[in-house]
Structure 1
């Protein structure tokens, strides 16, 4: 991957990228499959929301405990468990006979995915040092972000050529390859004797997120006055408050609140919340809109995000290097604002529809902004915390990015007005623009130039 890495390091980085790749890929590959799933299994917009959010609920909650599990049981063992669980759940999804079975299988898949990202980054932080570590994180960030964007393209091709079920079954291929490569790295598990896993905290967090999301998704169907809606919302908020209170007292917290006293870490994660909520929402809305309203095939709908994918793959590493030289603040401010400018161009979408003039320009500008954002954002958040806590910092940041997408998708029906038609698309675009502006403003006022040693 680069001449500065040893062969062993290159192999380790390959394993880390592949293990995370399936998690990020599946997070967006589902977007292009939603219309086909809804057509075959039924359920409309509500089922589509649950197919996305069932995965994000367990992923967002359990990714926080994955760091502790890696310390307690060994990162390689945790990675293997995550890969096998993800593969089994993918096969179950491909065989799903009805929406309920599918949603449960997606929740199991999200739980397995939670153990992949932190263990992958832990491999990098324990294998690479100094400048090589920064480059490795930059490559990992570029590849996993590209996986998020290439998901709709790959899924679309599989759906058109075969079935939406193959969009999930294909996960077995990279999983098998990763499991075969792990023994060749020569790495051995290291376990921390006094490490503990906060099982109760994980349960409370999962239930809190689930109840909150249930209220947001079902509110358009039942109304705020329905006891199941307001009761779930209040109960979910109460459980999340209990979870935060527990994190102050428990010996091995899933979410160490002390990390948020570090300015760049707290500001970077707040910016992550805004930016990734917008990213998750716009990619879902655009993909479904192109299929359900404009009649695009799944492959063509997936191709809509290809320009942004190419730009992220080409420019992310360079943006990370420039941010390391000149500081991340400008990149983390300008990037989201450029993304917002790209999305504003989507307000030109109308009848007669033209992808080339109404969608492509916005996707190109959006891709440039995203490439300028992702690597500096990740490096800044991880760099704000010492290497001994990099795994925990990464788990927190990934959890926040997934929870951001979870809440954005849960509020989808409210944002678009109940239907993903032209008006709904425009409403979603405006919401995403506001989120991205908030992310840029947060970065400008919150991020400070990292302190480096004279020899760095």
Structure 2
């Protein structure tokens, strides 16, 4: 790739890195925020959940908006909103201010991330070049989250408000570089002469309600009637969305795109893999802090080894994908995750860090093998005019995955703790039961992704003449 192509990729990776450290730093800072602002437990939980709701609720709309209104325009606009509300969060003096700021920040990420991904998939030639760009992008996202744990622990020592201000400083630099480097584009023409407002409304409503229902699973059987009602309402709106899209002359999401088996399989795989990853990391954090008494900084430093994916993602998977095909590498990542989580299931009250290290390292390596190739599979072969939708579907899957993973392990942990006697041994049993959830998720994911192996090895991505050059494809931007 040319220097300009690498520079553009660096800017886009800066955005996904920004998103990763933003979430990770806040997860470390929540206890300090709760103490300083004297927040009740429910409000403190919503400081984290509001972001997930905003993100999961609008990613589908965000992806389509990038296709219809312009990827560059959406990227720059919502990056600005992201930075503005991150700064406002730093000035919050009440819990509701933080919740509102985090919700809008999540909405901004829902528009910004699919736009960034679709800029990559339309600016780099399909094949080895695009694959490497996507693998670097995915690795940067995971690395941002892993490093964000450490950075958040350090910044919290100086005051939790720096957790909100620091992303603004980084994001400001990314925004200035993006204004210079993002390729210009003509405003896409709207087919059908109108925007699918009914589809947008029903999609956003369904995603918000379903995400809220998933988050409420953390409360176990408390308020299960409300949880059931919310999920039912979400499913009804989802049904309405499908009906609207079938009749719309210019649908928000062309339902035919869901017939692409490899994309659907990749989205389901990403949901399960990301869910297992975040659920596992959440429970390990609780184990180290609540059962072992480690500080937030000590915990963050212990988990930083999981950031090995940021090093491996741009180097190892491209070679493996070119040699063995995308499906086999994804399947290998799931198998490695199964081994990783299985090694941690017998965790004890006095395990040394050396005993934990193999699992933490293998978990990061598994993420490097699976997540980047899943990103490629979710966008491979999709028409350029629907790349934003494909990116939105993938982002929706990953956000729902993280919500499902964390909510499921929390629900299982709470149920087992409630049935125990409160002793350290009973608490450890609850941790072990909750840690079985990520293991089950990756086993199911491995079964789903195994169906991708039936077609044999994916065509060599560097085969001569397999793909037309970027400059020859209508509407593409030849940056590389």
Residue 64 of structure 2 corresponds to residue 54 of structure 1: no
Q: What residue in structure 1 maps to residue 476 of structure 2?
A: none
Structure 1, 148-157 or 200-209: larger mean CA deviation: 200-209
Question: Aligned match of 2:386 in 368, 389, 399?
Answer: 389
Q: Give the aligned partner of residue 250 of structure 1.
A: 248
Cα displacement (A) at 1:443: 0.7
Aligned to 1:166: 162
Q: Which residue does the alignment assign to 2:445?
A: 439
Partner in structure 1 of residue 132 of structure 2: 135
Give the unaligned 5+ runs of structure 2. Answer: 419-426, 467-480
Aligned to 2:458: 450
- Residue 7 to residue 266, structure 1, CA distance change in 2 (3 Å): same
Does 2:273 correspond to 1:275?
yes
Kept in 1, the 8 Å contact 2:272–2:401? The answer is yes
For structure 1, list consecutive stretches of 5 or more residues without a partner in the other structure: none
Please give the root-mean-square deviation of Cα atoms over the aligned residues, in Å: 2.7
Contact 2:64 2:252 in 1 (8 A): yes
Mean alpha-carbon deviation: is it higher for 269-278 or for 26-35? 26-35
Contact (CA 8 Å) 2:218, 2:407: kept in 1 or not? no
Aligned CA distance change for structure 1 residues 380 and 217 (closer, same or farther; 3 Å): closer
Change beyond 3 A, Cα 1:181–1:344:
same
Aligned counterpart in structure 2 of residue 124 of structure 1, from 120, 128, 137 = 120
Whole-angstrom distance in 2 between the partners of 1:102 and 1:247: 35
Distance 1:417 1:404, change over 3 A: same
Partner of 2:238: 240
Q: Taking structure 1 as reference, are residues 455 and 240 closer, same or farther at Cα in structure 2, changes over 3 Å only?
A: same
Q: Cα distance 1:203–1:290, how it changes in 2: closer, same or farther (>3 A)? A: farther
TM-fit CA distance, 1:337: 2.0
Give the direction of change, closer, same or farther, for the CA distance of 1:209–1:74 in structure 2 (3 Å limit).
Answer: closer
- Please, which of 341, 344, 349 is the counterpart of residue 342 of structure 2? 344
Alignment of 1:129-208 (within 5 A): 129-130=125-126, 131-159=128-156, 161-185=157-181, 187-194=183-190, 197-208=195-206
Between the aligned partners of 2:215 and 2:57, the Cα distance in structure 1 is 18
Q: Contact 1:149/1:309 (CA < 8 Å) preserved in 2?
A: yes
Identify if the C-alpha distance between structure 1 residues 259 and 8 changes in structure 2 by more than 3 Å, giving closer, same or farther.
Answer: same
Tell me by how many angstroms 1:400 deviates. Answer: 0.9
Q: After superposition, where does 1:222-371 map in structure 2 within 5 Å?
A: 223=221, 227-357=225-355, 359-371=356-368
TM-score (norm. length: structure 1): 0.89
Structure 2 CA distance for partners of 1:200 and 1:157, relative to 1, 3 Å: farther
Pick which of 432-441 and 398-407 moved more.
398-407
Give 1:211 shift: 3.2
1:89 aligns with 2:99: no
Q: What is the CA–CA distance in structure 2 between the aligned matches of 1:380 and 1:450, rounded to whole Å?
A: 11
Q: CA deviation at 1:253?
A: 3.5
Matches of 1:306 and 1:134, distance apart in 2: 26
Shift of 1:49: 4.2
Say whether 1:406 aligns with 2:369.
no
Deviation string 1:305-342 (CA, Å, 9 cap, x unpaired) is 21121244234432133113311222211211211221
CA separation of 1:166 and 1:116: change in aligned 2, threshold 3 A:
same
Structure 2-normalised TM-score?
Answer: 0.85
Q: Shift of the alpha carbon at 1:192?
A: 0.9
Distance 1:73 1:315 in 2: 31
Q: Give me the whole-angstrom Cα distance separating, in 1, the residues matched to 2:211 and 2:14.
A: 30
